Chain A
Amino acid sequence: MVKKVITGNYASSYGAKLAKAQVIAAYPITPQTSVVEKIAEFVASGEMEAQYIKVESEHSAMAACITASQTGARTFTATSAHGLTLMHEMLIWASGARTPVVMTNVNRAMAPPWSVWADHLDSVAQRDTGWIQYYCESNQEVLDTIIMAYKVGESRDVLLPSFLTLDAFYLSHTYETVDIPEQDEVDEFLPRFDPPYKFDVEDPHLFGSLSFPHQFYMEWRYQISLSMAKAREKILEIEAEFKKTFGRSHGGLLDEYRCDDAEVVLIAAGTMASTIREVIDQYRDNGEKVGLARLRVFRPFPVNEVRELAKRAKVIGVLDRSYSFGYGGAFFAETAGALYNSPDEPVIKNYVVGIGGRDVTPSTVSGILDNALSLKEKGLDREIEWIELKEGGD
């Protein structure tokens, strides 16, 4: 184990290297580019034994990853914002083809107006593509999640692609201390990718064929839904195993912090969760029963964990760094949806925050917590609130 001070992007590159990704197909986009630049250096120097395919678009990057995965190769790519949304068609193909590609997505706002800063719309908009989605809080989590994501995605009862996300600049370009595990430890934890079916001239199969309505298309999709449900247990199981080997873990699907007796809980994803922890501690020092439930995995959604949380909390504030025009943030809508068929009815409010990289400071979080605490007595004031809009912004 070596401790280094590296960026989130480089943590991704080290993660892919330690996982021994065999095929990397990538196209540059800010703020992701240094992920694949570093991997290109690893490949060029011989530190990493992989095929590095330079493609003409993100759509092709994903197409190359899917095809390589179907030959039985472990594949990796990285993208951001417009790159991820250009891949959309191929993302659905990747899950349909049951290829456990792993990808880093640097969460960046969508234009117009142009913005290269943190915003979750790019990845949230991929909700229905059949990808497992992890939202990272630290550079350490980025590196560790890549290794775990391969093991989860490649397990025979899952066989689905995964991406992990890093907030633009808050992780991608931020230097933090990261434990880089030893290669032999990773090798022992993560066996070779061994798919049940692959392109093999000695053992031919047909991939991606046509299915008429009376045939098995519907069952094929149903099986994906079963595998995605199975991924819930698999993520927890493999994280427990990871902890045993490497001595650290990152909180499963819904990473609870000081939630045990909390009356007010904030649900949030990405780097703002780290800032929220600090503020939660300050409020706890003043005797306020507040907690954080970090949405680490958005797909599969942690339905059971959210329901357990609702048994205890009186107010749940859901922070969304993206917005679905026409109703509210997706994290909010999913949380509310998960609780509709549960007997517990906490007040649920949506705080829309940090859009386009607007800084989420401790004072931003305090404002939200103060409001959420006030809802304990008075009940819901507004269902959805945009936080710290500039004067004249409405």
Chain B
Amino acid sequence: MIEIRFHGRGGQGAVVASNLLAMAAFREGKDVQAFPYFGVERRGAPVTAFTKIDDRPVRIKSMIYEPDHVIVMDSSLLKAVDVTQGLKNEGVILINTDKKPGDIQGVKGKIATVDATAIAVKHGLGSKEAPIVNTAILGAFAKATGIVKIESLVESILDSAPAKKNENAKAAKEAYENVLIGGE
């Protein structure tokens, strides 16, 4: 089973991201489970969501404590939340930032970065002040981990994104091309 934990802020689309990733893996014949750790959600508050992907039925119905990979949708969370808690050794930590992986301080692991905020703004997703970065970050995740194909992800976005399906699909593809993958 592959377990992915999302860290975002209310309004960035972390919960939808966890669902779209599950749907993409489902298109590739996997069994999936996606769910939020549901706080009483407010815009800007830290949000956690989870996706589980497996070749056999996903049965464990509890949160993820030892993720294979972590996605950080807002780099300010690096200071607020222990985003790498329980992260497995080989795991990727994908961060939405304009920095390069080598410039990220204080985070251990295989770092990948993408400027999902700029990509989301460019494609008119959300507002400039509060861009919706979820589809861009998923495109980057597809490249950084290879867990789902970009084609499956784009199909899921075109099928199930709540709004601006084409723009979201373009954002995912652009992030796929532009993600920077660092070393250990």
Contacts and interface: CB of A to CB of B under 8 A. Distances in A.
Interface of A: 3, 5, 31, 116-117, 167, 169-171, 173-177, 271-272, 274-275, 277-278, 359-362, 364
A222 B36 CA distance: 46
A359 B63 contact: yes
Find the residue from B34, B38, B62, B65 having the highest chain A CB count within 10 A: B62
A274 B35 contact: no
Nearest to A137: B61
B59 A170 contact: no
Given A5-B22, A116-B40, A175-B22, A169 B35 contact: yes
Contact of A361 (B40, B58, B65): B65
A361 B65 CA distance: 10
B62 A177 contact: no
Given A177-B26, A177-B31, A5 B19 contact: yes
A362 B52 CA distance: 15
A364 B62 CA distance: 10
B125 to A, nearest CB: 21
A169 B60 contact: no
A278 B36 contact: no
Interface string B38-79: 101000000000000000001111110100000000000000
19 contacts: A3-B26, A5-B22, A31-B38, A169-B36, A171-B61, A174-B33, A175-B18, A175-B19, A175-B22, A175-B32, A175-B34, A176-B32, A176-B58, A177-B31, A274-B59, A274-B61, A278-B60, A360-B62, A361-B63
Given A169-B35, A362-B60, 4 more contacts: A5-B26, A171-B61, A176-B58, A364-B62
A169 B40 CA distance: 12
A5 B18 CA distance: 12
Contacts of A171: 61
Interface of B: 18-19, 22-23, 26, 31-36, 38, 40, 58-63, 65
A275 B36 contact: no
Given A359-B62, A359-B63, A116 B38 contact: yes
A45 to B, nearest CB: 16
Most buried by B among A117, A174, A359, A361: A174
Contacts of A361: 60, 62-63, 65
B40 A275 contact: no
Contacts of A359: 62-63
B40 A5 contact: no
A5 B61 contact: no
A274 B35 CA distance: 16
Contact of B61 (A31, A117, A177, A272): A272
A271 B34 CA distance: 14
B34 A278 contact: no
A274 B31 CA distance: 15
Contact of B59 (A3, A277, A360): A277
Contacts of B35: 169-170, 173-175
A271 B60 CA distance: 9
A273 B80 CA distance: 34
B77 to A, nearest CB: 21
A167 B61 CA distance: 10
Interface centre among B40, B61, B63 (most CB of A within 10 A): B61
